[in-house]
Chains A and B, each alone.
Chain A
Amino acid sequence: QVQLVESGGGVVQPGRSLRLSCAASGFTFSSYSMHWVRQAPGKGLEWVAVISYDGSNKFYADSVKGRFTISRDNSKNTLYLQMDSLRAEDTAVYYCARVTAQRAVADAFDIWGQGTVVTVSS
């Protein structure tokens, strides 16, 4: 079935790095733009980054610009989020999500992963 599975979360010290992965299955991964969304404990949803279906376009929230890098490997059906210079305020559940329509510039998110927890603490 159509599925996204995140991995790579954990506890990390401030200033260190972490790489999240999102493995896709059940659909043609290379045809869909993909996003990362996070949710701090007890807070709402915050969009983090997007990458177009072919990897040619990438955009970031101001809160992570210059520190996080989104990428994808369409041959491995996998989305990544490289997180550098982590801060306490990056502590959150990180979700990957697929847009609804193939090759869409922008659209709703119809498929979400289960989330992976990132805790930044000394």
Chain B
Amino acid sequence: DIQMTQSPSTLSASVGDRVTITCRASQSIGRWLAWYQQKPGKAPKLLIYKASSLESGVPSRFSGSGSGTEFTLTISSLQPDDFATYYCQQCNTYWVTFGGGTKVEIK
């Protein structure tokens, strides 16, 4: 199985900060990587698919990059609504796997 490792697990930041989250795959997954945002008590929300494609309706301050085994999610200027937990997901095969999550907290 493909393992996904996210870092950091927790991140403290302020409104307006540039934030970067990293996700590493245990083997190459091409660009089959998605990013999700989850708030407490809610279902995950798709932000980025195919490593860098922005889902419709998602603010442009979110961006994704990478290929192969290393990927990043960047929030260019953190907004109050962005404090949440973020997950990466490899979808290279039917049997997907998620990263452990990164909780973005208010500094």
A binding-site residues for B, Cβ under 8 Å: 33, 35, 37, 44-47, 50, 52, 57, 59, 61-62, 95, 99-100, 105-110, 112-115
Q: How far is the CA of A44 from the CA of B94 in the complex (A)?
A: 19
Q: How far is the CA of A121 from the CA of B45 in the complex (A)?
A: 30
Interface majority SS (helix, strand, loop, mixed), chain B: loop
Give the residues from 1 to 60 in chain B that come closer than 8 angstroms, CB to CB, to chain A: 1, 32, 34, 36, 38, 43-46, 49-50, 55
Given contacts A108-B34, A108-B89, contact A47 B98 (CB under 8 A): yes
Q: How far is the CA of A113 from the CA of B44 in the complex (A)?
A: 9
Given contacts A45-B44, A108-B34, contact A57 B94 (CB under 8 A): yes
Smallest beta-carbon distance A42→chain B, Å: 10
B binding-site residues for A, Cβ under 8 Å: 1, 32, 34, 36, 38, 43-46, 49-50, 55, 87, 89, 91-101
Given contacts A44-B87, A45-B87, A100-B49, contact A106 B96 (CB under 8 A): yes
Q: How far is the CA of A45 from the CA of B31 in the complex (A)?
A: 21
28 cross-chain CB contacts under 8 A:
A37-B98, A44-B100, A45-B36, A45-B38, A45-B44, A45-B89, A45-B101, A47-B96, A47-B97, A50-B94, A52-B94, A100-B46, A105-B93, A105-B94, A106-B91, A106-B92, A106-B93, A106-B94, A107-B49, A107-B91, A108-B34, A108-B46, A108-B49, A108-B91, A109-B34, A110-B46, A112-B44, A114-B43
